[in-house]
Amino acid sequence: MPLTALRRGYTIAKTFRQYQLLDVLPAAQQPRPLRWLDSALFWVGRKHSEQPLPQRVKLALQTLGPVFIKFGQMLSTRRDLLNDELAEALAQLQDRVPPFASHEAKQRIEAALGAPIEQFFIDFDAEALASASVAQVHSAKLKHSGDEVVLKVIRPGIEAVINSDLQLMLLAAKLVAATRVGKRLHPVEVVSDYRRTILAELDLTREAHNAMRVGANFSGSDALYVPKVYDQFSHKDLLVVERIYGIPVTDIEALNAAGTDMKKLAERGVEVFFTQVFRDNLFHADMHPGNIFIDVSDPSDPNYIGIDYGIVGQLSEQDKSDMAAIFLAFFRHDYQRLAQVFLTTGWVDRNADIHEFEFALRKVFQPLQNQPLGNISFGHVLVSLFRTAHEFGMVVKPQLVLLEKTLLYVEGLGRQLYPQLDLWATAKPYLEHWQAQRVSPKQQWQRLQDHGPEAIEKLPEIPALIHENLQLGGELLRQPQRILASYIEQRKRLHKSSLLFHGGSVLVISSTILLDKTITIWPSIALAAVGVVAWFIAWQVRKPA
């Protein structure tokens, strides 16, 4: 292991001890290697012992730096695994780090362009507009058109830091996975999901592609605007997009001062989310407030501006159908249907008792039955569903985690803008319409058009396959002995092999009994040797000639 990795490992171990992070697991379930390591660092003092555990975890991740901060942010969305207090503490983590030097940013931009900045841009601002753990952004203008743009550039050396920290995270995850609590938390899968997400953020061509796809889906829409991507400059380390001006979605005071229709804005956020998920099957999965601005050019008809498409989510057609069925079953208080959906999807163990599962769901959700739907959190209902299903063997798919996280963001944001927002009333007609469309003649015709050519290509093969199978069936009826000869021969070999194996086993067991009853060992050795030879012959007989 390189010296830098050893030093980093020591820093992480020391921080774990300082903030007593082993307390996350019950004492009886703490992996011995981690306990030994914690004890070995006995000279390291404790910090913030008076703070509750969730706050200590948050402070520790802040101390460990950007990669762990982003990991904590991702963990905060896994409310199916974490309790609410810990999830809330991790959600407060801010991915803000000091900007790296402007001359380094300029060098990396020019390396990506393959030319001096001045060849393509003017008014390049060396001072960063914003800086995060993976990248930072600078403003400029396009030389040929004067368009205002922002240049997003990957932080130098971050890939090596990320890979080093991921290796250490995975090692710790494997140790935790060996415990009983660890098996329930699936730490290796969680770290693997995070690895995929953060490594994807290192390739800005992926973000450019995602932004262009979402932009095309909402072309001409008055609900969401996606800034233009200047694809000719796309590079793994560089992204150039249109600079936008809008009111940050969290600046409620400015939105109210502009006379914004807050009810329409909140409902439009729900519309954008469900359109992305169910119509487009491509949703912005990092919709935290820093990535959302509002265009109030017409305050009575405000629209969203979304930036930073490094993380997007997609569901399979089956997952979309299942999620719609789950939401609609909850709307109708049909807990039996809820349980059936989870079992038939394979999201929970197929051996689970459906009646026990239905009872568990009913116990969680029946207290909500008499409450107005507008008072119930859509996102927290989904979290409760996943937590309950988790007890019956559910392993949440990464895309469903992104969906859960995004839904929590959208709902929290909508109610911040307009506290009376009834997300259920807004979502239910949309889901019912989408489900009705799925089985409509128009949609079936579209599926036939999509998959028809592939089926038509295979049509010429069908007569040959039918003829071949009919020939085989006729041959089997006329000469079953010849057709089944190889099968019969195989069964004979397996029968002989089984007899020899069991006979050998009897001889070996008898030798151990004889050894216990006699003084001399030779008869026992002879019996054992014959038994082993019988095993060897059984293995040889089992193999086809």
Range list of H helices, 391-440: 398-417, 423-438
Residue/partner pairs of 500-505 with CB below 8 Å, 24 or more apart: 500/534, 500/535, 500/537, 500/538, 500/541, 501/534, 501/535, 501/538, 503/531, 503/534, 504/530, 504/531, 504/532, 504/533, 504/534, 504/535, 504/538, 505/531, 505/535
286 is catalytic: yes
Q: How large is the average pLDDT for residues 483-489?
A: 58
- The sign one gets for the Cα dihedral 321, 327, 331, 333 is positive
Instruction: Return the ∠ at Cα 272 (arms to 84 and 294), rounded to 5°.
Output: 90
The residue type of 170 is L
CA 197, CA 210: separation in Å to the nearest integer? 14
Residue 295 in contact with residue 221, Cβ under 8 Å?
no
CA 157, CA 159: separation in Å to the nearest integer? 6
Q: How confident is the model at residue 360 (pLDDT cuts 50, 70, 90)?
A: confident
The residue type of 365 is F
Give the pLDDT confidence score for residue 275 in this predicted structure. 87
Name residue, tokens 């030798």: 511
Close Cβ partners of 542 (under 8 Å, ≥ 6 residues apart): 493, 494, 497
The residue type of 451 is H
HSE at residue 386, side-chain half, CA atoms within 13 A, is: 26
Strand partners, 152: 137, 239
CA 213, CA 283: separation in Å to the nearest integer? 10
Q: How confident is the model at residue 209 (pLDDT cuts 50, 70, 90)?
A: very high
User: Is residue 292 within a helix (H) or strand (E), and if so which, with residue range?
Assistant: strand 292-295
Close Cβ partners of 70 (under 8 Å, ≥ 6 residues apart): 95, 133, 134, 194, 198
Give the pLDDT confidence score for residue 149 in this predicted structure. 95
HSE at residue 259, side-chain half, CA atoms within 13 A, is: 5
- The lowest-confidence range among 144-153, 421-430, 483-492 is 483-492
Higher-pLDDT residue of 191, 235: 235
CA 382, CA 403: separation in Å to the nearest integer? 10
Does 237 have pLDDT greater than 80?
yes
Q: How confident is the model at residue 540 (pLDDT cuts 50, 70, 90)?
A: low
Give the pLDDT confidence score for residue 298 in this predicted structure. 93
Instruction: Return the ∠ at Cα 341 (arms to 340 and 345), rounded to 5°.
Output: 115
Q: How confident is the model at residue 426 (pLDDT cuts 50, 70, 90)?
A: confident
| 346: region left, alpha or beta (phi > 0 left; psi from -120 to 50 alpha) | left
DSSP-based three-state secondary structure for 130: strand
Longest dimension (CA), the chain: 102
* 0.75 exceeded by pTM: no
* Catalytic member of 165, 286, 295, 308: 286
Give buried/exposed letters for 20-39 (b at 16+ CB in 10 A, else e).
Answer: bbbebbeeeebbeebeebbe
Does 454 have pLDDT greater than 60?
no
Give tens-digit pLDDT for 313-341.
Answer: 888 888 888 877 877 777 777 777 878 88
Assigned token pair, 329:
């079953």
Report how far apart, in Å, the C-alpha atoms of 502 and of each of 9, 421, 506, 528, 540 are: 53, 72, 6, 13, 15
Close Cβ partners of 41 (under 8 Å, ≥ 6 residues apart): 13, 14, 17
Which 3-state string (H, E, C) describes 19-86?
CCHHHHCCHHHCCHHHHHHHHHCCCCCCCCCCCCHHHHHHHHHHHHCHHHHHHHHHHHCCCCCCCHHH
Higher-pLDDT residue of 255, 67: 255
Does 44 have pLDDT greater than 60?
yes
Name residue, tokens 């502009």: 258
- The lowest-confidence range among 253-257, 353-357, 432-436, 502-506 is 502-506
Report how far Cα 193 is from the mean position of its chain's Cα atoms: 5
Arithmetic mean of pLDDT over the chain = 78
Closest CA to 230 of 242, 238, 220: 242
Closest CA to 426 of 267, 261, 224: 267
Q: How is 111-128 classified by DSSP, letter by letter?
A: HHHTS-GGGTEES--SS-
Q: How large is the average pLDDT for residues 282-300?
A: 87
Does 310 have pLDDT greater than 70?
yes
